[in-house]
Structure 1
Amino acid sequence: MLKKIPYYIPLAVIVLALQVTNISAQSALYNSGNLRIHEGGQLGFHTNLINDGVFDENNGLAGFYGIAPLTISGALPPTLFDIEISNDTNVGLNTVVNVSNNLNFIVGDFFTPKDEPQYYLNFLADSFYTGESDISKVNGYATITDQQNFTFPVGDGMQVRPLVLRSQSVNALAKCAYFFENPNNPSTFTAAFDTESRPPQLGGVSTREFWRLEGNVPSTVQMTWNGRSNMGELTDDVAKIIVVGWSKTTARWEILAGGAAAGDLDQGVVVSALFVPDEYEAITFGAMGEPRDYISLDNYLITPNGDGLNDALEIAELELSPNNHLLIYDRFGLKVFEMTNYTNQFVGYSNVDNFVIGRDKGLPEGVYFYVVSLKDLELDFQGFFYMAR
C-alpha cells in the first residue's frame, strides 16, 4: 500500500509498480518495494529518498526541490530517466544515482563526499545534461558508463570547472572530480603530490587546483583556467602552459603536453596529449621551463629486420647515465614503449598495456617520438626516429 506522505509532493502523474513502504519519522521517502515513474509522470522530492527497493524502470521526471538540504541514500542505486534539481542548497548522494536520459541543472549542486568516491552521479550510455553553471553542478564525483566522449560538469562549492574527456574507444567507466586546493596538501588523499617533484624541463606545477580522473582507455583531456587559477604565479607566457599528471609509476609530475594553449593569463584552454588516466593520481596545469632545460638529441633510423644493422634504438649518451627512463610514443601520441635504465632493448615491439594494433607482429613503420630522462645528470632529452621494416 501507499502510506500517507507527511509533506507536499508536486505531482503530475505517478504510477507505482508495486509499493512504497515505511515513510520514516526523519522525513524521508523510503522505498523497499518497487517504485516506478511512468512516461509523462513527474515526482517532486522535497524530502530525503532512501532507496532499498527497485527504482530503475523509469520514463518520467524526478525533481529535487526546496530550500533545505536533501539526501539520496539506500542499499540500491536508483536509476532515474529525467532529473531536475532546483534546490537552494545541496542534494547529497550517499549512494550511486544513475541518469538514463537528461539531467537539468537549475539551482543547487549534487554533492558527493570526496573522501568516499564510491558514491557518485553516473551518466549512463546516451544520457546527457543541460544548464550546468556556477550555481548548479556536481560538487564531487561524476562518472560515465559506456560513453566515449563527455564533458564532466564538476566543480566545487563556488564554480563549475568542467573537464572534457575524449577517448579512443568507449569507456566502461570513467570518473572525475575537481579539487580547488593545493596538491601539496590534498584533503582526501593519503599522499601528497609534491609540485617540486618534476622533470627539469617542467618549470612549475599549479598549486591552486587539480582534477582526479579515472579511466583505462587512452584519452585526451581539455581543461580551462580562469582568474581563480592564478596562472600569473605559474608563468608569464601562455604558450608555456601545458597539462601535467602525477604519475603513479614515477611518483612525480609528468608532462602530458598536447596542443598549444590558447587565451591569456586570466582565462584560456589547453588540451593534453593521449594518455591513460588510471596511470595518474591527479592532473593539473604546468608550465614549461626555459628552452635551455630541454635539449634535443640526434634523430635516428632503426631497421629491426635482424640483419645486425640498426636493429635497436641505440642512444649512446645513455652510457653517461645508467639511471635513466625512456618513453616512446607513436605519431598519434600513444605510448608504445617504456623502460627504466634503458640499454638498447627497443627492437620495434611495444611493451606497455595500451591499445596497440598488431602488437605481436611488431609496431608499424613510421615516425616515433622519444623522451628520455638522464636522472644521474638531471637532464631530459627528446627526439624522433623513423622505423623501417
Structure 2
Amino acid sequence: MKQLIAISIGLFASLTYAQNALYNQGSIQIHPNGSIGFHTNFINDASFDQHIGLAGFYGNNSIQVSGNVAPSFWDAEFFVPSNVMLRIPVHIQNNANLVDGNVDSPLDDQTVYLNFMQNGFFTGERNGAKITGFAAINNRDFFSFPIGDENQLRPLTLISQGSTPLARCAYLFENPSSPTSLTSSFDVNSKVSEIGTVTDQEFWILNSGVPAAVTISWNARSDLASIPNASFESIIVVGWSIAANQWVVIGNAAKGGDITNGFITSEVFNPNDFGAITFGTIPLPTDTFAVNNPTLGNYFLSPNGDGINEFLVLDNMSESPNNSLRIFNRFGQKVFEKINYVDEFNGESNTGNFYLSQDIGLPEGVYFYLVTLDDLGLEYQGFLFLDR
C-alpha cells in the first residue's frame, strides 16, 4: 500500500448518517502520486474525477459512499472488513485493489455499481474480498466480473461480440423463484419443455445490449447433484426470457468438470433479453414420467389374501390410459397380457397354456414385465418377484 496522507478537514455531523462523513463540495483533489484515506463515510456532491493518485477505504467499521455525483478514482483500495457500501456509482479508471471486505451495492437498484472504466481492472479478489452487488464495465468486450455473495466469490466472464458501452452484473445465492434481495422473481417451474429442471440455488443478473457468451461455474454449494437424474452431461445454461416470462434454453458452447465442480460457456445470446441466468438440466429422453415415478422398476407381489401386495400396481398408469402390459416367465414364455391395464394382475395367467391353470396361479419366482404407454410414447421394463 502507498503511504497515505490522512485527511481530517471537512468533517461534519451528517443528518443522514449516524457517523461523521467527509463531505466534498469541490475542494478535494488528489495530485499525481498523492493519496487519500477514507476512514469514515464519504458524501460526494461535486466533481471528483481529475485525479492520478490513490483513494483508500480503511477501518473496522462499515463505510458508505453517497451523494449526488459519482466519484471517479484512478486507483482505489478497499480494506474494510465490514464492507464498503455504495449508494451511488463509483468509477475505477485504473486499479481497484480488493484487500479485505466486500464492496456492496443494493441488488434491487441496478443504477448503483462499482464501475470499471475502459482501462480499469482489479486485483486481490477472493471469497473475503469481492463485489457483493453490481459490478459494471464501460467500452469492453471481455471481462470477468469479481462478484459473489457474502461468503463466496462467484464470477461471471463476459465474452462480448463487440465493445459494450455499459454492462452490469451481479450474483445472488438465492432461490430465483423467491429471491429475498429483489422485488421481481423467476419461477423455476415456469420453463419450456426442453428444460428438465432449473436450479433453485443461485443465479446471475447480466445487462448488456451487445450479443455475448458467458462462462459461469458451479461448486459443491451449487448442489447440482441433488437435481433428480442430474449428470454432468445434462447441465445446460438457461435464462429467464423477459418476453416469454419463463425459463428458456440459452445453450452450451463448452463445458468442463464434473457434477460437483465445473464450468460452462454459453452460446451467444442477447443479455438484455433475459432477467436472470443460471443452470438447468435437459429432460431425460423418456421425458418426466420416469422422474415423477421413480418406483417404476422392480416390484414384489404376494397374493396370499392378507390385503398387502395382492395386485401388481404400476405407478400412475392413469397418465396413459392407452397402454399395454406383458409379463414373461424366466423361460421367456408370455404368462399375462392386458391392453389398457388397470392393476388386475394377481399372479394368475391369462394367456397360452398357462391360462388353464389360472385357478392354481403361477409358480413363485422372478418374472419379467414390459409396459408400453401409448399416450406418452414411452416403454418401460422391469422385474417382479411373485411370492407364494
- Structure 1: which amino acid aligns with 2:12? S
Please tell me the residue identity of whatever aligns with 1:201. Answer: E
1:286 & 1:278 partners in 2: Cα distance? 20
1:281 equivalent in structure 2: 275
Aligned to 1:38: 31
Q: Which amino acid aligns with 1:73?
A: S
Count of paired positions: 284
What is the match of residue 242 of structure 1? 236
Moved over 4 A (4+): none
State the alpha-carbon separation in 2 of the partners of residues 237 and 181 from structure 1.
22
1 CA distance for matches of 2:277 and 2:128? Answer: 24
2:215 aligns with one of 209, 222, 232: 222
Give the equivalent residue in structure 1 for 2:172: 179
Q: Is 1:50 the counterpart of 2:38 in the alignment?
A: no
| Alpha-carbon separation, structure 1, partners of 2:254 and 2:137 | 27
TM-score (norm: length of structure 1):
0.69
Residue number in structure 2 paired with 1:110: 103
Residue by residue over 1:171-210, the C-alpha shift from the partner in whole angstroms, topping out at 9 and shown as x without a partner, is 1100011111001102244442111111222111110000
Aligned partners of 2:254 and 2:266 also within 8 Å: no
1:264: Cα distance to partner?
1.4
Query: Are residues 1:147 and 2:135 paired?
Result: no
One-letter code aligned to 2:256: A
Give the C-alpha shift of residue 113 in structure 1: 1.2
Aligned counterpart for 2:87 among listed residues 94, 102, 122 = 94
Match of 2:58 in 1: 65
Deviation at 1:378, TM superposition (A): 11
Instruction: Indicate whether 1:255 and 2:249 are aligned.
Output: yes
- Write the distance in 2 (CA, Å) between the matches of 1:190 and 1:44: 36
Instruction: Give the equivalent residue in structure 2 for 1:203.
Output: 196
8 Å CA contact retained: 2:170, 2:205: yes
Distance 1:125 1:275 in 2: 23
Give the TM-score taking structure 2 as reference length. Answer: 0.70
Instruction: Show the counterpart of 2:11.
Output: 23
SS at match of 2:46: coil
1: CA distance, partners of 2:20 / 2:182: 34
**Structure 1, gaps ≥5 residues long:** 1-8, 15-19, 295-376, 380-389
Once the two structures are superposed, the pairs formed by residues 327-338 of structure 1 within 5 Å of their partners are none
Q: 1:59 and 1:151 mapped to 2: Cα distance? A: 25
Identity %: 41
Residue 73 of structure 2 corresponds to: 80
Whichever residue aligns with residue 152 of structure 2, its letter is Q
Correspondence 1:344-355 to 2 at 5 A: none
3-state DSSP of counterpart to 1:232: helix
1:291 aligns with 2:285: yes
Decide whether aligned partners of structure 1 residues 82 and 191 sit closer, same or farther in structure 2, where only a CA change above 3 A counts. Answer: closer
Aligned equivalents of 1:240, 1:72: Cα separation in 2: 44
SS of equivalent to 1:228: helix
Equivalences for 1:305-344 in 2 at 5 Å?
Answer: none
Q: Distance in 2 between matches of 1:22 and 1:84?
A: 21
Say which one has the larger Rg.
Answer: 2
| Inter-partner Cα distance in structure 2 for 1:92 and 1:161 | 19
Q: Distance in 2 between matches of 1:286 and 1:251?
A: 16
- What's the offset of the Cα at 1:36? 1.7
Corresponding letter in the other structure for 1:252: Q
1:160 counterpart (153, 163, 173):
153
- Give the distance between the partners of 1:190 and 1:378, measured in 2 at CA: 39
Does structure 2 retain, via aligned residues, the 8 Å contact 1:239–1:262?
no
